[in-house]
Amino acid sequence: MSSDNFASFYFHQGTNFESYFYLGCNRYQKGYVFRVWAPNADSVLLVGDFTGWDSPLGLSNNSSDGVWELYYETDESLEKQAYKFIIEKNGKRFYKGDPYARFSRGKDDGASLVFTSLDYKWGDAAWLKNRKSILGGRRKNYLGVPVNIYELHLGSFMRNEDGSYLSYRALSDILVPYLKYMGYTHVELLPVMEHPYDGSWGYQVCAFYAPTSRFGDPDDFRFLIDSLHRAGIGVILDWVPAHFPKDAWGLFEFDGTPLYEYQGSDRMESASWGTRFFDLGREEIQSFLISNALYYLKEFHVDGLRVDAVASMIYLDYDKAPGEWVPNTDGTNENKEGTSFIKKLNKEVFARFPDVLMIAEESAAFGGITRPVHEGGLGFNLKWNMGFANDFYDYVSLDPVFRKYHHKALNFPLMYAFSENYCLPISHDEVVHGKKSFIDKMFGSYEDKFAEARAALLLIMTYPGKKMLFMGTEFAQFREWDFENSLEWFMLDYPKHRAFREYVRALNSFYLSRRELWSYDFSGEGFEWIYPDEAEKNTVAYKRKAGRDELTVIVNLSGSEQYLKIPIKQKSVGLEVLFESSSGASQALSVFSDNGQKYTEIKIDAFSAAIFNEISLTKNYKIKENGYVL
């Protein structure tokens, strides 16, 4: 059997995980070979810059497996020339982009662009070696290392003065030093795969293998990733394997009938999104999607994928009203094809790239999202804690007078904090559609909003779980995120906004420097309540721990100063302030004993938070001045 026959066999078996070398457009001998899967087509034609758009060439279907192919012999390079497939079905013609195209014009046109080169000269060998070595120890995962993610939409982070997009290469000149300065370990990019509609933010993808041409070509995108890696910053891509839009040139009814989507009306479409759901039980779709995930991990060196809308893949009744979906024979609502696909995906990813992140955006309460597949889970590393985000942002929007009735927003997350490996997200979803920006969610006056936002960020950065912050939050942009325009960088001309960014930078630095805040994020060994139930005071106090090292955290989200007595060890003489949200906000008043327990009394101002360390008689501590530790 020839290599092409093997590739075809495994593609139809759902196990060709480099199917982009078989389908699409690839260099072959003295020309190019074009292949497309269209089993229901009556015929398939190729048109393009190199054929003449009015002179189509016919593809042949040499077998019964639905793969059409054409060998185009030429001595000239076709790189970056445009082409489309014409699918003929029942006397109708459909002009389609290549599902495996590595470059695309996108927008309404959707013509594919030949781009066969995969020989970009990378300069990130040290980064990849370090990534592997970090995960080569006893834990062999990201659970015991700091992860602090900056979520970014490339089209609206910053633009040229005339409003046009910055290129991938121009963005690298700005973004790399900025992220390095701010102290982020990773950047997470909203979907960069080619999408026609800007207003989808990239979540309605038509060309899954093609980084969007809005900012340059695929090698320009590689340059951006390479630059980030050389600066020590990891890259996570949002990835959308759940659904795709109904644009005419995309995957929608690709060969004249439903092909990439489910065929039954009970599973085919999302009414809310107006998109089609991938048929995750079909073997060819599994080859397509798993190859796509591995394509970005291998050919673009990305460090992880954040998988969008997992709930829509694992529930039959997702976005369905009663009577619109068909339960399993046992009456359950689990999409078993969906959960099987996700397990297959994660097993294959980690078999090839054990040192990457797979993150689930899963909005329901499906059990075992971050449990390994061999233990019965879905196999992700991390899951966004969307429940925490929703409850906490509701809490900080309340008048402090009423917060005592909603104190569970602060303590309930610790009831389930270790049931999954969570990331605490301040995400793009939380700062649009009338939800207000992070700073503007805070209750009260202009001054109070800044103080509360600083305290809220300190709480998030010291609770168990990895961290993520959406762009613009770091300098307290008041306007909601607007995908059509740049962030309001002019806000940094105002002292309060500039100081807020420096606070976030200092908080990031402190987080990275203290292993208590990340070594045991997903184990009770790393967290201990001191005061979980001070609802009347709108206050919580707790310890973050790593072995014998401990930090004490107090967060006061009330509108008045509060007094707490904090237990300390017998060989300690009090608490020193290591970091606080407002300079001079906390003060140790006295040290005393009560029934054999030693305490120090702490006063903490309204809308303030502080991190303390015990001053031990057995160690020669130098008490630091209050303020940010850089």
**Active site positions, annotated:** 308, 361
Environment class of residue 125 by beta-carbon count within 10 Å: exposed (0-12), middle (13-18) or buried (19+)?
A: exposed
Query: Which parts of 202-254 are beta strand (E)?
Result: 207-211, 234-239, 243-244
Token couple for 351: 């078999």
Query: Which parts of 137-203 are beta strand (E)?
Result: 148-152, 186-189, 193-194
Q: Contact, 54 vs 127, CB < 8 A? A: no
Token couple for 373: 């597949």
Distance of CA 140 to the CA centre of its chain: 21
Residue (of 535, 532, 533, 471) closest to 504 by Cα position: 471
Q: Which helix (H) or strand (E) holds 293?
A: helix 283-299
∠ Cα 194 200 204 (to 5°)? 50
Q: What are the φ/ψ torsions at residue 50 (nearest 5 degrees)?
A: -90, -10
Q: What distance in Å separates the CA atoms of residue 238 and residue 234, rounded to the nearest whole number? A: 13
Counting Cα atoms < 13 Å in the Cβ hemisphere of 284 gives: 18
Q: What distance in Å separates the CA atoms of residue 230 and residue 227, rounded to the nearest whole number? A: 5
Query: Which parts of 74-122 are beta strand (E)?
Result: 82-89, 92-96, 112-113
Distance of CA 81 to CAs 16, 71, 77, 115, 523, Å? 27, 16, 9, 8, 54
Per-residue b or e along 263-282, where b marks 16 or more CB atoms closer than 10 Å to that residue's CB? eeeebebbeebebbbbbbbb
Sheet (strand 597-604) strand order: 562-568, 597-604, 586-594
Residue (of 210, 218, 221, 268) closest to 244 by Cα position: 268
Q: Which helix (H) or strand (E) holds 592?
A: strand 586-594
Q: What are the φ/ψ torsions at residue 32 (nearest 5 degrees)?
A: -135, 145
Question: Which is it for the CA torsion 140, 143, 147, 150, positive or negative?
Answer: positive
